[in-house]
Amino acid sequence: MNGSEHRSYTLHEIAERFGGEVLGDGTTRVARIATLQNAGPAALAFLANPRYLQQLGATSAAAVLVGGAMRDATTLPRIVCEDPYVYFARVSRLFNPPPSAVAGMHPSAVVDPTASIAPDAEIGPQAVVGRAAVVGAGVIVGPGCVVGAGVVLGAGVRLHARVTIYESCVLGERAIVHSGAVIGADGFGIAMAEGQWLKIPQIGRVVIGPDVEIGANTTIDRGAIDDTIVEEGVKLDNQIQIAHNVHVGAHTAIAACTGIAGSTKIGRYCRIGGGSGIAGHLTIADGVEISGHTAITKSIDKPGVYSGLYPFDTNRAWRRNAAYLRHLGDLAERLRELEKQVAALERSKS
């Protein structure tokens, strides 16, 4: 059960935890978070976008979270806060705390006798824990997970079902890894020798910092020689590929289906939109925002927003414009020649 099923809070109690100004009846009790449109009488709703102001007037919520500009937009009991969306996130965590580990190992789990398992850790059905692995306090290893030899799981790590962590990788405290993720597989290291590909052993690790969340079916390759590193607080969406020796700076967020090629270093507090591609051996500065479906082919040394999405069109128009684009270099050269001719003509007249 989550917290909303057995505990309610008054607005005063919530404001005491998270701040904000209570207007109206502060003894109003709420037991769950909901949208304005779907809220019931025991729900706390939130208005984070003025586009939904009309729904505020029709909501059945017991109370609402609003920003300062909307403090008088309703007569419902409310908490006025600086950022209703952030406040909503904090209250939602209060109502929906993560599950605690149920100490013990399922009878079907396979745990090497040399592994170190904290007494309060939970090892789920058909999970495998390899030799000399370390499973910290309060860790949850979900059904069907594989924790390789020498892996270290810090306190409070949560592995959802069917996560695979290859040997020697390290996950920091409170990291969350969703189903199907693979951490520490070999990077794409190959060399052409005598007409065939020669595999280069990938001997580095993956080192994940504390409070990192890794989405479903995301893959993070181990380093070729040095480690692949994901620093603290990084949030990775589903189906992301991070290649060997990549370094992702703290508190960066990366949306789904992004691919990052090897040995690229991404700064702190970056935001990378879904479907983006980042070439290898680049450096991305701190505070960079990359729009969705953008291809980054050279380093970025200054913070800012970078976009490179070629807009869609009808197929006929797209083909025509693509043909123009292919000849853009020739057209630019012809334009420069014309500019030179015009400049020469003007000089002759003077």
Each residue of 219-233: pLDDT tens digit? Answer: 999 999 999 999 999
User: Does residue 5 or residue 293 have the better pLDDT?
Assistant: 293
pLDDT tens, residue by residue, 94-112: 999 999 999 999 999 999 9
> What is the percent of the chain where pLDDT is above 70?
98
- 12 in active site: no
Half-sphere exposure of 4 (CA within 13 A, CB side): 13
> Tens digits of per-residue pLDDT, 242-289?
999 999 999 999 999 999 999 999 999 999 999 999 999 999 999 999
pLDDT for 6? 59
Residue pair 198/192 in contact (Cβ under 8 Å)? The answer is: yes
Rounded CA separation 274/239 (Å):
10
Please determine, for residue 2, whether its predicted confidence score (pLDDT) is greater than 50.
no
* Of 160, 178, 244, 247, catalytic: 244
CA distance 283 to 265: 5
**Whether residue 179 has pLDDT greater than 50:** yes
